[in-house]
Amino acid sequence: MFNRFFAVLIPGLIIFVISCNRGPYHASNKSYKKQAKQYAKTIAQSPAVFSVIEGASPGWIGTTNFNMRKPNYVIIHHTAQNSCDETYKTFTLPRTQVSAHYVICKNGIVQHMLNDYLRAWHAGAGKWGSVTDINSSSIGIEIDNNGFESFTGPQINSLLQLLDTLKRKYTIPAANFIGHADIAPTRKVDPNIYFPWKSLAAGGYGLWYGDTTNLSVPENFSTTHALRIIGYDVKDSTAAIKAFKRHFLQDSSAVVNDGDKKVLLDIMNKSM
């Protein structure tokens, strides 16, 4: 009797323990691996021969000169959520249709969520200079922050180490470390006015302005033209001004005074 009871109980306990040890993201990790394998198969396929093209060769010739596409921008976000666990859930539910390569928690833990060479869905509709598909050329970094609070020391320390790694690995230009609001000024405000862009720029991650005391602004200076040269989409010039001021002046107003123009001119000159 007892032997029969334990014969039924023990296998059940083993299955229960194994399922518990899988962790809360077992299903999403499994989905990740499945999708990655499918993309790997696509990449490994021989170049297609387009039979619909008149004169197309029946075979193919593989070039020996190629490599992986690499990211050229880093876009920094705040999560606008209340914890890393909340963000992990958001990024592992198919229905949300949003993701990022990295998440940085308040205690400084960096969670890598997607291979850098793969395309995350973090930027959405946006534009920077002539680039209109930001997701295809960037790495997205989400920092755990609700948008109304300062970032923690451990977060910024971890971010700086991560940015150093990414910049070296992919030779990303200093000017190409920007915020979500910079590429989508009509939709987004992150990482907002509390983000320490000046500290990042001191390490070579983003542009910053110098002493503008003796800088002379030309009479014909155009704010809109300067913003366009820097990279901003100026279809909504008011939104572009606000995004610029959030980034460089920790101010979200649309008013541009003489001091603001000097900063704008200096950043424009550094962008050319």
Running DSSP on this structure, what letter comes out for residue 216?
P
The residues facing 177 across adjacent strands are 74
DSSP 28-71: HHHHHHHHHHHHHHHHHSPPPP-TTSTT--SS----S-------
Distances (CA, A) of 11 to 1, 2, 14, 22, 26: 16, 15, 5, 17, 21
Which residues have CB under 8 Å from 147's CB, separation 6+?
78, 80, 189, 190, 192
> Residues 194, 200, 205, 209: is their CA dihedral positive or negative?
positive
Q: Are 92 and 25 in contact (CB under 8 A)?
A: yes
Radius of gyration of the chain (CA): 24
The residues facing 140 across adjacent strands are 75
The answer to whether the peptide bond before residue 191 is cis (omega within 30 degrees of 0) is yes
- Look up residue 60 and give its two tokens: 């193919």
Q: Are strands 102-104 and 73-78 parallel, antiparallel or unpaired?
A: unpaired
**Is 54 among the residues known to form the active site?**
no
Catalytic residue among 54, 86, 142, 149: 142
Active site residues: 142
